[in-house]
Amino acid sequence: MSRRAEVEVSLGERSYSVRIGEGALADLSGLLEASRPTSFLFAVDEGLLASHPLLLARPELRTSAVLPVPGGEGAKSPQRLLAAWEAFARAGLDRGSLVVAAGGGSLTDLVGFAAATWHRGIPWIAVPTTLLGMVDAAIGGKTAIDLPGGKNLVGAFHQPRAVLCDLGFLGTLPAGEFATGLAEVVKAAVVGDPELFAFLEGESGGADRLRRDPDRLLEVVRLAAGVKAAIVSRDEREAGDRRLLNFGHTVGHAVEKASGFAIPHGRAVSIGMALEGRLAEGRGTFPSGERARMEGLLGALGLPTSLPRLDLGALLEALTADKKARGRRLAFALPRAIGRVEVVEGLDPREIRAILESAA
């Protein structure tokens, strides 16, 4: 029996556990038995549905309603949401029903939102199949779809009943998607877990070796998911500490946008962490040694730490457009140390410009 781990999200009667390890998906049988839903729908990444051994082994896929969903950000569209609601109607889902969502963060965001809105909220279980989903997207109950005007514009908080992180899914994940997840793992470490950071630093074999070592992978997912779970348990609706998870994302989102989304999220966040680290260093609130350690780890994991050729004007525009849209001053989650981040508001745009210019 392979090793397993569990992390708790503590939110009173909405508490649930994140079950991690090879074979975690098999826990679904017990969960279904215990909850005895009136009906049941399985929403699955269509690319994995026909081919992934973990899914082919699931009896529910032969006996219950199945909704195949295309992978990737395109899943988070109003059209896909409508298709999900229509599938829920065909399956006769009511308040006693259960939806299981197996896929990456895009799929769990979409299907979680469909469950949040169906009959004003029906139970769902998240089965993240990407590293990013396991350590971030599937935990915490944020669900959303995109509109042409922006990402995640329509959404709801709707906690799942359980999160099953079956590490067996990661074997088929493309290397680039694994790297995206690793960027969020480093983020979790800098935000709240110096031991996770040190563990990653000790990984001399880089991303490839980590991915092939089930014990190390389990440890990394357990610790990173633990950071997210602990923060969500303190601040479910992002009134306080949950904002710390935006570390690397203010600059990261701007880099994504200014590149016309040619730079994938995880790489953009890695660049964002490096630049926001330098911003904090420049303010005298993040020691140079810690900043260098952070960039060293990102580099060792194959993640970028410097700005690619981008139009600086477009980058600054993307940063301030974000600010205008939110109607408030530019806020950053900046590191003070490895394992400790703080929210800093009202930064002088010239300070940010200087950092971007020096990094270009």
Q: Report the alpha-carbon angle 234-158-97, nearest 5.
A: 135
At what angle are helices 214-234 and 175-192 packed, to 10 degrees? 50
Out of 177, 219, 241, 295, which residue is the one contacting ligand NAD (CB under 6 A)? 177
Of the candidates 19, 80, 142, 291, which one interacts with ligand NAD according to CB under 6 A? 142
Residue 273: name the closest of 242, 296, 240, 239 by CA. 296
Of 173-181, 202-210, 277-285, 340-348, the window that binds ligand NAD (rule: CB under 6 A) is: 173-181
User: Which phi-psi region, left, alpha or beta, contains residue 110 (left: φ > 0; alpha: ψ -120 to 50)?
Assistant: alpha
Among residues 19, 246, 276, 290, the one annotated as catalytic is: 246
At 79 the three-state DSSP class reads: helix
- Written as six digits, the tokens of 92 are 């006769």
- 246 has catalytic annotation: yes
**Catalytic (active site) residue 142:** yes
* Number of residues this chain uses to bind ligand NAD (CB under 6 A): 28
Binding mask 85-124 for ligand NAD (x = CB under 6 A): ------------------xxxxx-x---------------
For residue 129, state whether it binds ligand NAD (rule: CB under 6 A): yes
Per rule CB under 6 A, is residue 76 in the interface with ligand NAD? yes
The span from the CA of 139 to the CA of 147, in Å, is: 23
- For residue 58, the 8-state DSSP code is -
- The DSSP call for residue 177 is H
Question: Catalytic residue among 142, 257, 267, 278, which?
Answer: 142
Q: Which two tokens stand for residue 139?
A: 């935990």
Alpha-carbon distance 98 to 201, whole Å?
Answer: 41
Rounded least distance, CB 208 to ligand NAD, Å: 16
* Annotation marks residue 353 as catalytic: no
Catalytic residue among 253, 257, 278, 291: 253
Chain residues that interact with ligand NAD, rule: CB under 6 A: 45, 47-48, 71-73, 76, 103-107, 109, 129-130, 132-133, 136-137, 140, 142, 151-152, 169, 172-173, 177, 180
Residues serving a catalytic function are 120, 142, 184, 228, 238, 242, 246, 249, 253, 265
